[in-house]
Structure 1
Amino acid sequence: MASSIVRPDTEGRDKERDEDRDEHSVARRLLASAAVLAYDPATEVDWDTPLDKDFHGASPEWCSLYGTAYWDEMTDAQRKELTRQEAASVASTGIWFEMILQQMVLRDIYAKDPTDAKFQWALTEIAEECRHSIMFARGAAKLGAPAYKPPRYVLELGRAFKTIAFGEAAYAAILVAEEVLDVMQRDWMRDERVVPFVRTINNIHVVEESRHMKFARDETRRRLAGAGRVRRQIQAFVVAIASYFIVTSMVNKQVYANAGLDTERALAEARANQHHKSMMRSSCSGLMDFLASARLLTRPALMFYKRAHLI
């Protein structure tokens, strides 16, 4: 009688080893990139030269009022002041979400192997985010802006999100926040109408965040591999809600008063501004393509992306 031999699942193990090598090779490449191409904002940014108010704080076309009747009525000085206040508001929102990001990444790698390239990349990313937050804070102060913060209920929702979000929801939300900033900041850093130190800040952020976005995309895909329909639906909804509050918190309503404008009129015209909505949609086309490929553009999620004018 022939004996029954239990053969090891070598094909499955080989596949697991290949996937393991792939994800660790990404982390090693990112670590190598960070070792060669990294910046210290404390020395790279011109913090000493006084603010030149002949410059904008951001490309005017990205201003929430650009293309409105109110914009046409504003003086050149008011337009420049508004773009400076809005740039500071975007920076402050960036700080808020970068603090959420750092806590989610730290929680994700807690008690994992510190000799692992992914562990070391995660700490490198957190170190870069810390420098970015300090850079944004100093930049906002130099622009003459107050400490803009999201509304209290958004801050509390963020507190809940950073505590409970895990896996693909955490990394996809990181990707959404960084992708939206990336497109607008690429415009700002090339625009000679923008004050030079802000252009430097944007350049630093774009270069270093490209690594973070690469890692977030890979982690989102990897963690969704094999995810069932229910889990995918839940995570898609969580990411969409987080995206909505991130994007709608970028321009604090106080920027209008601080630029010497009528807040109620400015808010009304900003809400109806089709040009700004179009700019947001165009900036997110690549992001939406990625979310669609990851099957995270479910019907409930689409409602929030449309309300935030991301699609």
Structure 2
Amino acid sequence: MAHSAERTPTLTPGGHGRTHSAADDDVSKRLLDSAATLSYDPATEIDWDAPLEPGHYGLNPEWSTLYGTALWSGMTEEQRVVLTRHEVGSIMATGIWFEMILQQMVLRDQYLKDPASAEFRFALTEIADECRHSIMFARACEKMGVPQYRPNQLVAQAGRAYKALARGELAYGGILVAEEVLDVMQRDWMRGENVLDIVRGTSRIHVVEESRHMKFARQEIRERLRGAGTLRRRNAAFGIAAGAYVIVTSMVHPSVYKAAGLDVARALAEARASEHRRAMMRTSSRHLMAFLAENGLLTGPSTKLYRRIHML
């Protein structure tokens, strides 16, 4: 297909006009080709019956919220193993929660669009991937003996509002935030020789398939913002940052510290004050921040929110 610069006007479900070019469609077509050749079924790719390796962590110790703190230094090795398994379980549970939000936003965005278009077909392919990922994470938590940690009631209601109200670049911006931050973490976990095989395997699957989802989200954001004015970009920037704040602060449930036999109040205080933790968060957000800045989505108010959660 020729890469024409001609753009055909389309209409989003929210009623905002947008332009869709042949080049936009080419992105979705390439992603569909990738999905056809490189996708996984966690039900058969993961050995769910294999015993957990004794002494192996749930995630690389460097990604633990307490790594490098005085509390971490005083913990037994058994406590560290238990803590990291519960931390990764909490992150997986947060992933399930946000994947439920993601699927609803994408479905709403594609409502009544042309089912023959590459964009529509990849959007549904992404939803199918997310369904498998959620089941995969739930099974991994069950295998590790970790409860399904849930966001608190206030955060749960905030998520309900976000999935109901977010449109266009705001919806895809929230999706990109969640996927980018987790992607950097999981790239380390999948290579961790002292990390549980079940975590390495699920991370590998998620990294490969989410790379397509991130490309799709970036393309949708660029497309929705073509010709957008300053006010729209500022509003989107703040909304995406607010979504990031909720996601990042909900990743590790306070109860993980209780599961490891730690004083919860002290653990929370040391995790919040950890310079190592802050550095790791900035590392995991570097590419995301560059993309947001490139697209006019890194403003003064949004920057303040990102700094509060150490993404900048």
Per the shorter chain, which TM-score range?
A: over 0.9
Structure 1 counterpart SS, 2:220? helix
Distance (Å, rounded) in 2 between the aligned partners of 1:134 and 1:245: 23
The equivalent residue for 2:148 is 147
Distance (Å, rounded) in 1 between the aligned partners of 2:152 and 2:108: 25
One-letter code of the match for 1:112?
K
Distance (Å, rounded) in 1 between the aligned partners of 2:50 and 2:127: 29
Distance (Å, rounded) in 2 between the aligned partners of 1:14 and 1:256: 55
The equivalent residue for 2:6 is 15
CA deviation after TM superposition for structure 1 residue 51, in Å: 2.1
The equivalent residue for 2:68 is 67
The equivalent residue for 1:307 is 308
One-letter code of the match for 2:176?
L
One-letter code of the match for 1:227?
A
Are 1:256 and 1:262, in contact at CA under 8 Å, matched by a contact in 2? yes
Distance (Å, rounded) in 1 between the aligned partners of 2:218 and 2:270: 35
Are 2:6 and 2:22, in contact at CA under 8 Å, matched by a contact in 1? no
- The 5 A counterparts of 1:34-183 are 34-183=35-184
Larger radius of gyration: 1
One-letter code of the match for 2:77?
D
Structure 2 counterpart SS, 1:133? helix
CA deviation after TM superposition for structure 1 residue 52, in Å: 2.4
CA deviation after TM superposition for structure 1 residue 265, in Å: 1.1
One-letter code of the match for 1:198?
V
Distance (Å, rounded) in 1 between the aligned partners of 2:190 and 2:51: 19
CA deviation after TM superposition for structure 1 residue 19, in Å: 5.5
One-letter code of the match for 2:125?
T
Are 1:257 and 1:263, in contact at CA under 8 Å, matched by a contact in 2? yes
Flag structure 1 segments of 5+ consecutive residues without an equivalent. Answer: 1-12
Distance (Å, rounded) in 2 between the aligned partners of 1:145 and 1:294: 39
One-letter code of the match for 1:66?
Y
Please tell me whether residue 279 in structure 1 is matched to residue 280 in structure 2. Answer: yes
CA deviation after TM superposition for structure 1 residue 50, in Å: 2.2
1:178-202 superposed Cα distances (whole Å, 9 cap, x missing partner): 0000000000000100011110000
CA deviation after TM superposition for structure 1 residue 172, in Å: 1.1
Structure 1 counterpart SS, 2:21? helix
Distance 1:150 1:15, change over 3 A: same
Are 1:178 and 1:209, in contact at CA under 8 Å, matched by a contact in 2? yes
The equivalent residue for 2:14 is none
Distance (Å, rounded) in 2 between the aligned partners of 1:294 and 1:85: 36
Are 1:53 and 1:80, in contact at CA under 8 Å, matched by a contact in 2? no
CA deviation after TM superposition for structure 1 residue 46, in Å: 1.2
TM-score, normalization: structure 1? 0.94
Structure 1 counterpart SS, 2:6? helix
Distance 1:14 1:197, change over 3 A: closer
Distance (Å, rounded) in 2 between the aligned partners of 1:21 and 1:286: 27
Distance (Å, rounded) in 1 between the aligned partners of 2:7 and 2:36: 29
Using the aligned pairs only, state the percent identity: 59
Flag structure 2 segments of 5+ consecutive residues without an equivalent. Answer: 9-18
One-letter code of the match for 1:127?
A
The equivalent residue for 1:252 is 253
Are 2:5 and 2:22, in contact at CA under 8 Å, matched by a contact in 1? no
Question: What is the total number of aligned residue pairs between the two structures?
Answer: 299
Distance (Å, rounded) in 2 between the aligned partners of 1:167 and 1:230: 15
One-letter code of the match for 2:127?
I
One-letter code of the match for 1:132?
H
